[in-house]
Amino acid sequence: MNKNLPLDNSFFDFQDLDRTELMWSIIDNNKDLFDILIKDMSDKDLNQKTNDGRTAIMYAALYNRMGMFKVLYNKGAEYYSYDKNKVDVALIAARFGYLNILKTIEYSQSSYDINNTSTSSWAVAFGQNEVLYYLCVNGHNVPQEIDHFGNDVAHYAAITGNVEAISILNEHCYYGYDGFDVPDKLGRSPFMLAILNGHIDIIKTMLNFGWKEIYQHNFPPRWVTDKLITDNNDMCALQLASMVGNYTVIDYLIKEAGFDINRQNKYGETALLIAAKYGQITTLDYILSKSSSLDSVDCEGNSALMLASKSGNIYMVNHLLENTKVEINRKNKKHQTALSLALVHQNNKVVEILTKHGAKI
């Protein structure tokens, strides 16, 4: 699972200690015992729940026992009930790609777990694209609602690099009016999440479909069009690529999407300053090759060297001093030099490097 994927897969790890005999017959795939048990079973016993809220038909779905599942379904088992995590049969089927189960129950409405994550989001996060396609082409609802983690179905596609899911959403136009510009809790669009997770194929696919990192609609709560999408820290997609050190993405965004490499965020930080701040040496060198200047400073007057010194990145500091013509004793608006900032933040190794190169306070 992608390290940035917040979904709790333990929701589908059924470890009930109070399983019924019927449930055990399903787990063991003992059809003879199952047939005997279910023959004269009452509705109450058929839908008996464990302490965690699991029923026999949930176990049949989890283990994809289609023959048993159909028998339970035809006898009126409550496939729509859910357990302590609000997981139901549809969510199980979506998570594991059991399309035959969804077709059997003629699934036509959205299910949400305890975190408000939908069936389609679970399917996309685990690459169950046949399920997503089925939900789209059969007229079912593919919800765009944000879950408790701040993600919707396209966010999960971007996090996991699920290019096919993006294509399905785009082709069938079931994704809603907002397109792919919906922000998560940090204000980041699916396009941005693809960048942060290094999925350049997602980026290329979205751009090829004509999606742009601008708000493209006139619907509440946003009434502004043609405004560059930025996150809660006013970082655009290219600046996020600089933060994580993906110069290949930066190159593509400049050439194919017209991003401005010298754009400043609300702190006055350019892509170059962000690369210096986060210690992305290769990315900094690439940005310098695109005519960005080491003379640029943020709103507080901090240069690339100052930001690297402040953050304590000895490799970036050393690289700037030995491979560029950086001004070592430049002062910011508070009259602090790179050495001053290193001392204030107790970055002793940086202090040693700066002093060795003749830095002054």
Res 182 pLDDT > 90: no
Percent of the chain scoring above 70 in pLDDT: 92
Q: What's the pLDDT tens digit per position in 62-77?
A: 999 999 999 999 999 9
Q: What domain range is 44 assigned to?
A: 1-153
Question: What is the pLDDT at residue 210?
Answer: 77
Helical pair 281-289 and 247-257, crossing angle rounded to 10 deg: 30
With respect to residue 175, please indicate whether it lies within any of the assigned structural domains: no
Distance between CA atoms of residues 337 and 76, nearest Å: 75
Residue 112: the pLDDT is 94
Q: Are 192 and 237 in contact (CB under 8 A)?
A: yes
Under 8 Å between Cβ of 316 and 353: no
pLDDT for 293 equals 81
Compute and round to an integer the Cα radius of gyration of the chain: 27
Average pLDDT over residues 201-219: 74
Confidence of residue 113 (pLDDT cuts 50, 70, 90): very high
More confident residue, 51 or 141: 51
Q: For the chain, give the mean pLDDT.
A: 90
- 207 domain residue, yes or no: no
For the entire predicted model, the pTM comes to: 0.89
Structural domain includes residue 54 = yes
Whether residue 326 is contained in a domain is answered as no
Domain with residue 146: its CATH number is: 1.25.40.20
Quick check: is 140 in a domain? yes
Q: Is the pLDDT of residue 178 over 80?
A: no
Q: What is the mean pLDDT of residues 80-91?
A: 96
Number of neighbouring beta carbons within 10 Å of residue 214: 13
Residue 332 makes CB contacts below 8 A (sequence gap 6+) with 297, 300, 301, 302, 303, 306
Distance set, CA 101 to CA 50, 59, 62, 93 (Å): 22, 12, 10, 6
323-356: per-residue pLDDT in tens? 999 999 999 999 999 999 999 999 999 999 999 9
Percent of the chain with pLDDT strictly greater than 90: 77
With cut-offs at 50, 70 and 90, classify the pLDDT of residue 228.
Answer: confident
SS3 state at 214: strand
**φ/ψ of residue 92, rounded to 5:** -60, -50
Report which of 246, 249, 245 is spatially closest to residue 259, judged by C-alpha positions.
Answer: 249
Mean pLDDT of the region 33-55 = 94
Q: Is 33 domain-assigned?
A: yes
Q: What angle do CA 153, 209, 226 make, to 5 degrees?
A: 85
- pLDDT band, very low/low/confident/very high, at 172 (cuts 50, 70, 90): confident
Q: Is pLDDT at 140 greater than 90 in this prediction?
A: no
Tell me how many domains the chain contains: 1
Quick one: which H or E segment has residue 5? none
**Is residue 322 one of the residues assigned to a domain?**
no
Angle, in degrees to the nearest 10, between helices 237-244 and 247-257: 160
CB neighbours of residue 25 within 10 Å: 23
What's at 60, amino acid-wise?
Answer: A
Is 144 inside any structural domain?
yes
Distance, CA of 161 to CA of 163 (rounded, Å): 6
CA separation for the pair 129, 167 (Å, rounded): 10
For 67-89, the DSSP string reads HHHHHHHHTT--TT---TT---H
